[in-house]
Structure 1
């Protein structure tokens, strides 16, 4: 079953979001079908804020190490593409495809002066269409999972804007639609019904159970950086325990 087919199973594809070779190996041992990188987790690991503060070359190196550690299909979160033009973004995507990456997440927002803001939908769709054409012309069959940040940024008409963008992106060559911070069952069901793309949603505190998400039409479930953040909290607790107890008993016992 290839990566595209994994989005059309009887239950949603639960994708393990990883940030290094160790997390990739852990996901493979745990029986996951596919991996996706978390840009926020990788940025945090390297000491950066999220939002393309790291360079593409730094991301590429981490992806190279992840690919060396696992045989699972790997999709890479390329944020806004690490480029200002379709040509620059496509060059980056081709480098990933040549490495064996099967898909990417490409988002329709950018961090400008520390503030994340939505791109103009028509401008983004035009850029997406050109990227898809360039990839097709050179036979790079990457699965482009477009992330729209309408709910994440609390757009006043989030559902309507997502429907508009989803239809536009579908026409422009998207293979999937990723809507982080989407949790309401009515909204999930509406988007699944109205947009003819596999629907990807992300871990959130109020997210329904996975079986219910499948009933609502969700095709893919992501972890975001929540697992990495949980592990970092545990790491801090361990460090504090060693310091306070002046002993390694809680670590090596």
Structure 2
């Protein structure tokens, strides 16, 4: 059995490896076990949006933090790979929420800035890192900036400059990587990597974005998929139900994953 420190160090090393870290987001124990069973899986990431939806809550810290962390803890206990959790914006207390997550066995997290004033966002990063140090875990923070999600009225140049400024500040405060979700083409990604650092930028895979291999060639450290994985699973379930209502059958190719 590896220690939390071992798992944190493994997760950190995956972010600096030449190969992009591909983390497939999960939302409960059965989804976690299905993905962890694959030999390609080196780490797991929880999707806060998906966990909230599982319990009937809208995204955005509407789910009680205790309920979210209970599910995260169950996921950690069910797998042998490092788990990084989506902690939204820290549920009002990033340091304490990180401490509670570490108690569940989590060794890394996303914490979003919601484009708050830079000093406030940096203070949240510092609180997360301090919580890890206090618990003896070199916590792997994928510090998220929402510049590209909340800047519809801003130019790409402006958003890139803001993301770079925030990203550098987050890294200086102890973050391992900087998560910049949004629609990122090759040129925008190149500029972000150039400004924030090679193997320091984390992106999201959504329809229309580049492939993981293309982001890897641009120097990106990590790609995750947020709520998209649950949406794919739910789409398959709903499509199956439509077929069954039309007198279809369960496909013979279905694997017994539960």
Question: Please, which runs of 5 or more residues in structure 2 have no aligned partner?
Answer: 1-8, 253-258
Contact 1:182/1:188, CA 8 A, preserved across alignment:
no
- Alignment match, 1:106: 111
- Alignment match, 1:176: 177
- Alignment match, 1:112: none
- Alignment match, 2:95: 90
- Alignment match, 2:28: 20
Match of 1:128 among 118, 125, 128: 125
Matched positions, count: 238
Deviates more, 1:197-206 or 1:41-50: 197-206
Deviation at 1:63, TM superposition (A): 0.9
Deviates more, 1:46-55 or 1:179-188: 179-188
- Report the TM-score, using the length of structure 2 for normalisation: 0.86
Q: 1:138 to 1:42 in 2, by over 3 A?
A: closer
- Report the TM-score, using the length of structure 1 for normalisation: 0.87
Please state if 1:186 is matched with 2:187.
yes
Contact 2:73/2:105, CA 8 A, preserved across alignment:
no
Contact 1:183/1:204, CA 8 A, preserved across alignment:
no
Cα distance in 2, alignment partners of residues 198 and 160 from structure 1: 16
Match of 2:18 among 4, 10, 13: 10
Q: 1:152 to 1:215 in 2, by over 3 A?
A: same
Q: 1:251 to 1:100 in 2, by over 3 A?
A: same
Cα distance in 1, alignment partners of residues 69 and 30 from structure 2: 17
Deviation at 1:134, TM superposition (A): 4.3
Match of 2:143 among 146, 153, 158: 146
Deviates more, 1:23-32 or 1:12-21: 23-32
Please state if 1:232 is matched with 2:229.
no
Deviates more, 1:49-58 or 1:164-173: 164-173
Deviation at 1:225, TM superposition (A): 1.0
Cα distance in 1, alignment partners of residues 104 and 124 from structure 2: 23
Cα distance in 2, alignment partners of residues 126 and 17 from structure 1: 27
Question: Please, which runs of 5 or more residues in structure 1 have no aligned partner?
Answer: 110-117
Cα distance in 1, alignment partners of residues 246 and 57 from structure 2: 29
Cα distance in 2, alignment partners of residues 54 and 159 from structure 1: 32
Cα distance in 2, alignment partners of residues 178 and 10 from structure 1: 18
Please state if 1:79 is matched with 2:85.
no
